[in-house]
Structure 1
């Protein structure tokens, strides 16, 4: 059975507001993410349907807080909470947040292609 460990998975995203380590596990990607400061990455989702993330995520907040905003409501999760974020959300992350998140690899790759293009145009999230 495939597995991943936060300490041995290489860092693949190293921005002032996000450090991310990602490993592919049989069609799903596990992400170990930490956010040292508050971040609202909503502008990076421009170009996706409704300018919102279309990838489903399941995760556990290890520290801090994450809020997922949909067009009609929002849900906030804190340390120790497990969550499911279906498509159509925008994240809002508090500084000091650390989480482990699982996403279908194909959906995450499509989303990340748009985010990376927006980052290239606008610069980093800071």
Structure 2
């Protein structure tokens, strides 16, 4: 049975605002994310449908909090919460937040391609 842990997952993303460790497990990617700074990554989603993330995420907040903003409402998740991020969200991240998140690998790759291109051109706005 495939498995991983945060300690075993390689660091794939190390930016001033986030450290991300990601491993593919059976068509899904598990991400261990540590958010180092408050930030609003909304500009990074430009170019996706409605300029929002359409990749579904299932996860747990192990520390801190995250807000998923939808066109008509916000959903806040705090330490200890399990969550589902439906298509059409924009995350709002806070310093000290740690997440364990599962996403369909193909959808995540498509989303990340847009995020990476936008990251190369712009910096996320401070909250």
Distance 1:124 1:88, change over 3 A: closer
Offset at 1:125? 6.9
8 Å CA contact 2:55, 2:108 repeated in 1:
yes
Equivalent residue number for residue 52 of structure 2 = 52
Q: What SS does structure 2 have at the residue aligned with 1:118?
A: helix
State the alpha-carbon separation in 2 of the partners of residues 75 and 124 from structure 1: 21
* TM-score after normalising by structure 2: 0.96
> Structure 1 length normalisation: TM-score?
0.96
Which residue number in structure 1 is paired with residue 62 of structure 2? Answer: 62
Inter-partner Cα distance in structure 1 for 2:124 and 2:86: 25
Contact 2:17 2:39 (C-alpha < 8 Å) held by counterparts: yes
- Structure 2, gaps ≥5 residues long: none
> C-alpha offsets along residues 55-111 of structure 1, whole Å, 9 cap, x if unaligned?
000000000000000000010000000000110000001111001000000000000
Q: Where does residue 21 of structure 1 map in the other structure?
A: 21
RMSD: 1.2
Instruction: Give the 3 Å change call, closer, same or farther, for CA 108–125 of structure 1 in structure 2.
Output: farther
Runs of 4+ in 1 over 2 A off after TM superposition: 123-126
Q: Quick one: distance in 2 between partners of 1:121 and 1:40?
A: 16
Give the total of aligned pairs. Answer: 126
Gaps of 5+ in 1: none
